[in-house]
Amino acid sequence: MWWEDGVVYQVYPFSFQDGNGDGIGDLPGVIDRLDYPAETLGVDAVWLSPFYRSPMDDFGYDVADYCDVDPIFGSLGDAERLIAEAHRRGLRVILDFVPNHSSSEHPWFVASRSSRSNPKRDWYTWRDPAPGGGPPNNWLSVFGGPAWEWDEATGQYYLHSFLASQPDLNWRNPEVRRAMYDAMRFWLDRGADGFRFDVVHYVMKDPGLRDDPVVEASGPGVFKDLGEYDSLVHLHDKGHPDVHEVLREIRRVVDAYPGRYTVGEIHVLEPAALAAYYGRSEGDGLHMPFNFTLLYAPWEAAEFRRRVDEFDAVVPAHGWPNYVLGNHDEPRLATRFGPGRARVAMMLLLTLRGTPTIYYGDELGLPEVEIPPERQQDPWGLRVPGLGRDGCRTPMPWDRSANAGFCPEGVEPWLPQGPAAAERSVAAQLEDPSSMLNLVRHLLRLRRREPALHRGEYRALDEAPEGCYAFLRSVADGGPGFVVALNFTDRELEVPGVGGEVVADTGMHRVGERAGPVLALGPDEGVVVAV
């Protein structure tokens, strides 16, 4: 299926292209730029972060109407035109669906909080104070502070895993499920090719709302350091096993429409636990849970190999792996690893067995942008200093014109673009044969052309010296195979037993070279050899 062979490109609508000159990206802007993902890159699908009606407290992840477009981004007609224009170019459109919480301005919540006897009261999680007073349990909000907000008018607390203006919907109520499935069908009927489900493992919590255990000893952090939130083991406030029943239902809704794709944002790093989200058999879970293991990996060949091998081994036969190196919640790839290593990482992403999802701008090597305090916008960063996500959400640089072509001259973009936007822009990189953008385009073409790369087997090579991660991609029916050799060190390395023609290299100067019988790798260099 296309989501196995293909590549997904994430577009953050706030920052892709401003179409009406207010300094904020919008859907008409995205439509104007569709040739870029479709032709310049040649990816198979775009995933758009939310563009629904929203007060934008969490930049669209606080939805006030699941079936309409926020005026900042355009109109429902623009969304329909975007889907049509993408399809005309052979590009699929995956929408972001936010099931766990709505905005507190959603009419459902407005009704729910209006009185204890309102029919929508139970659409959210309301509880009396604990016996001694205070919140009903010890759960914490990801964005800082308790996960409970006191409602003076009705004398109860409501649950919010994120901001207080993002109350958690009660998925144990069948009416809620029906309403959410209707919203999904609204978009499927309009041609959406699938959904990325926002923090979907949060929808099911412990029905008894038991306290989360307190972390005893701080072990090695699995994800980034989340501050106070890390003081609890998040055992009961998300990921209750009943979530799999919900995913089964979601899948049934989506499978009524052929060829659609579902991927869940699920922050679980333990490979077997993550793999459970594929379900027990075809159609029983999501098509894929996002696999974030490489996002948090230290830059060591052995560690990357271990994480890929482990994940590859636990993906069930009816499933298909996937890999992620960046998104709108994480520091930019090029800043996490450095610009040279970002190329090596991109080569890995685009040659592994599994669907790659590329975050817009990572193909340009955009760095994390330093945002001056007075321009910071992300509520997380404003509440927990250091955890702001604005730096990876900055406007896309397209060319050397004013504001790098993102918005008109004289208009201030909603976030600063960062230094050297013109030189990093799409236009500038297209002119430079050895640019990161041209490397990514080359790898995307190679992946599309070669069955071994888009659907072949994967086997790590034990012959690779320390500091090098090398693997073979091959197809059983005898087509060409490829060795991908990645030097994670700043020293020269030699990989024995690899001979053939170089078909890609991170420096963009070795293609066509005969390599072997020992493959020489420069510092921070990655090479793909047809063997």
Task: Indicate the residue among 22 and 32 with the shorter CB distance to Ca ion.
Answer: 22
Contact 386, 351 (CB under 8 A): no
Task: Indicate the residue among 26 and 525 with the shorter CB distance to Ca ion.
Answer: 26
**Contact pattern for ligand GLC over residues 86 through 125, marking x by CB under 6 A:** ------------x---------------------------
Contacted by 162, from Ca ion, ligand GLC, none: CB < 5 to 8 Å by type: ligand GLC
Please state the closest distance from residue 359 (CB atom) to ligand GLC, in A.
11
**Contact pattern for ligand GLC over residues 40 through 59, marking x by CB under 6 A:** ------------------x-
Contacted by 22, from Ca ion, ligand GLC, none: CB < 5 to 8 Å by type: Ca ion
Contacted by 18, from Ca ion, ligand GLC, none: CB < 5 to 8 Å by type: Ca ion
Please, is 5 exposed, middle or buried when counting C-beta atoms within 10 Å of its C-beta (0-12, 13-18, 19+)?
A: middle
Contacted by 16, from Ca ion, ligand GLC, none: CB < 5 to 8 Å by type: none
**Of 295, 276, 274, nearest to 223 (Cα)?**
295
390 part of the interface to ligand GLC, by CB under 6 A: no
Backbone angles phi and psi of 458, in degrees to 5: -130, 135
Contact 314, 346 (CB under 8 A): no
Question: 518-521 and 493-496 as β-strands: parallel, antiparallel, unpaired?
Answer: antiparallel
147 part of the interface to ligand GLC, by CB under 6 A: no
Please state the closest distance from residue 414 (CB atom) to Ca ion, in A.
9
Please state the closest distance from residue 368 (CB atom) to Ca ion, in A.
24
Residues recognised as catalytic? 198, 265
Q: Applying CB under 6 A, what is the total number of residues that bind ligand GLC?
A: 9
Contacted by 9, from ligand GLC, Ca ion, none: CB < 5 to 8 Å by type: none
Question: 8-11 and 355-359 as β-strands: parallel, antiparallel, unpaired?
Answer: parallel
With vertex at residue 95, the alpha carbon angle to CA 334 and CA 59, rounded to the nearest 5 degrees, is 65
In angstroms, rounded to a whole number, what is the distance separating the alpha carbons of residues 280 and 415? 44
The binder of ligand GLC chosen from 3, 36, 47, 61 (CB under 6 A): 61
Contacted by 363, from Ca ion, ligand GLC, none: CB < 5 to 8 Å by type: none
Please state the closest distance from residue 142 (CB atom) to ligand GLC, in A.
7
Task: Indicate the residue among 18 and 505 with the shorter CB distance to Ca ion.
Answer: 18
Q: Where are the alpha helices (DSSP H) in 94-199?
A: 107-112, 174-189
Please state the closest distance from residue 393 (CB atom) to ligand GLC, in A.
9
| Cα→Cα distances 488→311, 337, 345, 493, 525, Å | 20, 10, 9, 10, 8
22 part of the interface to Ca ion, by CB under 5 A: yes
**Of 263, 99, 75, nearest to 169 (Cα)?**
99
Task: Indicate the residue among 142 and 495 with the shorter CB distance to ligand GLC.
Answer: 142
The binder of Ca ion chosen from 17, 18, 236, 486 (CB under 5 A): 18
Please state the closest distance from residue 377 (CB atom) to ligand GLC, in A.
12
Contacted by 193, from ligand GLC, Ca ion, none: CB < 5 to 8 Å by type: none
Q: Which neighbouring-strand residues pair with 69?
A: 52
Task: Name residues contacting Ca ion, limited to 26-65 (CB under 5 A).
Answer: 26
Any idea what DSSP says for residue 268?
Answer: -
Output the DSSP codes for 130-143.
Answer: PTTSS-SS--B-TT
Contacts for 181-187: CB closer than 8 Å, 24+ residues apart: 181/249, 181/250, 181/253, 183/66, 183/67, 183/97, 184/97, 184/250, 184/253, 184/254, 185/253, 186/66, 186/67, 187/67, 187/95, 187/97
Determine if residue 449 is left, alpha or beta; phi over 0 gives left, psi from -120 to 50 gives alpha, anything else beta: alpha
In angstroms, rounded to a whole number, what is the distance separating the alpha carbons of residues 31 and 489? 41
- Looking up tokens 């569709």 gives 34
Contacted by 26, from Ca ion, ligand GLC, none: CB < 5 to 8 Å by type: Ca ion
20 part of the interface to Ca ion, by CB under 5 A: yes
187 part of the interface to ligand GLC, by CB under 6 A: no
Q: Which neighbouring-strand residues pair with 157?
A: 127, 150
Contact 9, 46 (CB under 8 A): yes
Contacted by 199, from Ca ion, ligand GLC, none: CB < 5 to 8 Å by type: ligand GLC
Task: Indicate the residue among 54 and 351 with the shorter CB distance to Ca ion.
Answer: 54
The binder of ligand GLC chosen from 82, 83, 199, 452 (CB under 6 A): 199
198 part of the interface to ligand GLC, by CB under 6 A: yes
Task: Name residues contacting ligand GLC, limited to 151-180 (CB under 6 A).
Answer: 162
Please state the closest distance from residue 82 (CB atom) to Ca ion, in A.
14
14 part of the interface to ligand GLC, by CB under 6 A: no
Please state the closest distance from residue 386 (CB atom) to Ca ion, in A.
30
329 part of the interface to ligand GLC, by CB under 6 A: yes
In angstroms, rounded to a whole number, what is the distance separating the alpha carbons of residues 477 and 452? 10
What type of residue sits at position 220? Answer: P
Task: Name residues contacting ligand GLC, limited to 242-271 (CB under 6 A).
Answer: 265
Question: 92-97 and 148-151 as β-strands: parallel, antiparallel, unpaired?
Answer: unpaired
Please state the closest distance from residue 77 (CB atom) to ligand GLC, in A.
26
Task: Indicate the residue among 26 and 198 with the shorter CB distance to Ca ion.
Answer: 26
- Sites of contact with Ca ion (CB under 5 A): 18, 20, 22, 24, 26
- Sites of contact with ligand GLC (CB under 6 A): 58, 61, 98, 162, 198-199, 265, 328-329
